[in-house]
Structure 1
Amino acid sequence: MNFFEKFIALVTYIYDPIHYWWEREKTQKFVASLLIFIFLFWLTVIEMNRHGVLPEFLGQKIPKNPFDAVHLAFSLLLIFEVITFIFVLPCSVTMAVAKQLEILSLIFLRNCFKLLIEFEEPINFSAHLDIIFQIGSYAFGALLLFISLTIYQKLKQPREGVESGVTIYYFVGAKKCISLLLILIFISLGIYNAFAAYYGKPHVNFFQEFYTILIFSDILIVLISHKFFPSFKDMFRNSGYAIATLLMRLCLTAPIYFDVMIGLMAAVFAMCLTYVYNRAERFF
């Protein structure tokens, strides 16, 4: 075995047990139970703070809006979805794009609950019409993304290439290496934000940074895939999916309303690219 073969074998040896552990039913049930516990616990703490039960030094650090608990729960759910995406990446490029769109739709829904924090009891709708329209924008944006995802999933087709099993093995192994790097970056971002929160320093926007990293990982996959699948249609498709990731990254920092439009643009672009790629199979 040469160095590359040994390296891919080592990556597979490390990656597969981690992937199995995360995807097994017991782990997923634990994650779901953990989310429920954190949501109920934080909601209880917030309610206690609202009624002045907590000590003053704690009450100053804990929010009083119950929608903060919803925002926290959705943020944690998104983090777990990002972990799932990392493990989807080696399986299929099209599946990875679908997972990115799923995460984006959940980000839109989370933004709805985040905006609800702006409301004070009792709720005065006339004073918050702009926020209501923003919530509606994110809600309908998430719904349209869900519809786009449904269409995208139907457009996906299994690859009908003639590549050997060895070629697929090494290509998937290379993507597993990228996934392991993403896991390390994911953990590093989490540790950095934890220390930043503890010491009261500015933290990085996790999802913005992660989508930025995904752009570079997609470009790396494009370059790696060119080694194993040098045809123009494969290179164009993989490069196009990198553009879809770029659009999703841009939508995370775009102004309100524009972010929803850019996110939907990414979904439509991915759908059109998949449709054209499937139709092009007969011509290339």
Structure 2
Amino acid sequence: MSYLFDKFLSSHTKERLERIILVLAIVSFLIHLLLIYFVQIGFLSVGSEVALFKNPIAAIYTPFSFILIYEVYLLVFYMPRSVTTYVSKQYEIITLIVIRRLFKDFSDLELTRDWLEIKGDLQFTYDIVLAILIFFIIFLFKKNILKQSLTEKDKNLSKLNFEYFINLKKLIAVTLVPVIVIIASYSLIGWISEIAWSDNLNLGSFVKINNIFFEEFFTILIIVDVLLLLISFFYTNSFHKVIRNSGFIISTILLRLSFSTDGLLNNILILSSIVFGLLILLIHNKYESIEVNEE
């Protein structure tokens, strides 16, 4: 297991993957721009409502997709290292999904006086406000992540038990790597097949593009979070840590539910998830300070 962990989730692997993702992002951006040009000169045919090929601004959507892949890797990378950093990566992923959605919708805006009456423009406004709010809330979340020594983490958790717990989390993280690759490949192949069997690049092939892979991914995260919570009962009985970890699961479930909705409800679920996670963390930190003062 140690060999696989070093192979897939070491700092060296992270740095190498970062360089690969950067190259892929640049190349994909240029390819997307070329496809938009082909559409504009009539070499390719797409549905009239497909926003991804209307404007060069929409090409930014593609490199952002590769950045999201790297963020998914970072989430798995930090899972054995820090619970709160792992959760913050979930929030960063959903923020990037919202930002990516904005780039896709930029080219489909209708700049008229009836801005608030046009569904697409109104959703764009919601997403702009949401992106600012959740970016600030994530800042507050990270600001309140406590840096603690082993003895401060849990008075009832011995060094040996702590190492066992970390090794179990490493095992789960290593197992997640091929699972994520399989899910991502399946989602991509399924989407490409849907396009390939269409007469042209119609709207139906793109309507759920923001949800590709991430619906399944967040479902897997819920299962993993519950598993980690159950395992943690063997190593700690601290009430506030159990509530914190349970709260983070609820937060992940709210994020998963957001993929099943659209419009304002989607924004509300995303915002409520991250606010809930921040409140759980703040209350947990108050419990930690009480325990320190009682020493």
Please tell me the residue identity of whatever aligns with 1:272: L
- SS of the equivalent of 1:228 reads coil
- SS of the equivalent of 1:125 reads coil
Q: Among residues 135, 146, 151, which one is paired with 1:157 in the alignment?
A: 146
- 1:123-144 alpha-carbon deviations (Å, 9 max, x no partner): 6535763322211211211111
Q: Among residues 155, 177, 180, which one is paired with 1:183 in the alignment?
A: 177
Native 8 Å contact 2:21 2:67 kept in 1: no
Please tell me the residue identity of whatever aligns with 1:112: L
Native 8 Å contact 2:58 2:104 kept in 1: yes
Report the Cα offset of residue 244 of structure 1. Answer: 0.9
Report the Cα offset of residue 96 of structure 1. Answer: 0.9
**d(CA) in 2 for partners of 1:282 and 1:100?**
26
Q: Which runs of 5+ in 1 are unaligned?
A: 1-10
* Equivalent in the alignment of 1:4: none
- SS of the equivalent of 1:85 reads helix
Native 8 Å contact 2:8 2:174 kept in 1: no
* Equivalent in the alignment of 1:125: 112
Report the Cα offset of residue 229 of structure 1. Answer: 1.5
- Which aligned runs of 4 or more in structure 1 are off by greater than 4 angstroms? 201-204
**d(CA) in 1 for partners of 2:282 and 2:29?**
40
Report the Cα offset of residue 256 of structure 1. Answer: 0.9
- SS of the equivalent of 1:27 reads helix
* Equivalent in the alignment of 1:280: 287
Report the Cα offset of residue 64 of structure 1. Answer: 3.5
Aligned residue pairs total 265
- SS of the equivalent of 1:227 reads coil
Please tell me the residue identity of whatever aligns with 1:169: E
Report the Cα offset of residue 169 of structure 1. Answer: 1.8
Q: Among residues 154, 174, 196, which one is paired with 2:190 in the alignment?
A: 196
* Equivalent in the alignment of 2:218: 211
1:1-40 equivalences in 2 (<5 Å): 11-20=1-10, 21-24=12-15, 26-40=16-30
**d(CA) in 1 for partners of 2:191 and 2:17?**
28
Q: Please, which moves more after superposition, 207-216 or 190-199? A: 190-199
* Equivalent in the alignment of 1:6: none
* Equivalent in the alignment of 1:255: 262
**d(CA) in 2 for partners of 1:182 and 1:61?**
37
Q: TM-score, normalised by structure 2?
A: 0.81
Please tell me the residue identity of whatever aligns with 1:183: V
1:145 aligns with 2:130: no
Native 8 Å contact 2:21 2:66 kept in 1: no
Q: 1:190 to 1:257 in 2, by over 3 A?
A: same
Report the Cα offset of residue 12 of structure 1. Answer: 2.5
**d(CA) in 1 for partners of 2:113 and 2:168?**
55
- SS of the equivalent of 2:233 reads helix
**d(CA) in 1 for partners of 2:136 and 2:99?**
14
**d(CA) in 2 for partners of 1:35 and 1:226?**
42
Q: Which runs of 5+ in 2 are unaligned?
A: 198-204
Q: TM-score, normalised by structure 1?
A: 0.84
**d(CA) in 2 for partners of 1:36 and 1:43?**
11
* Equivalent in the alignment of 2:67: 77
* Equivalent in the alignment of 1:94: 84
- SS of the equivalent of 1:28 reads helix
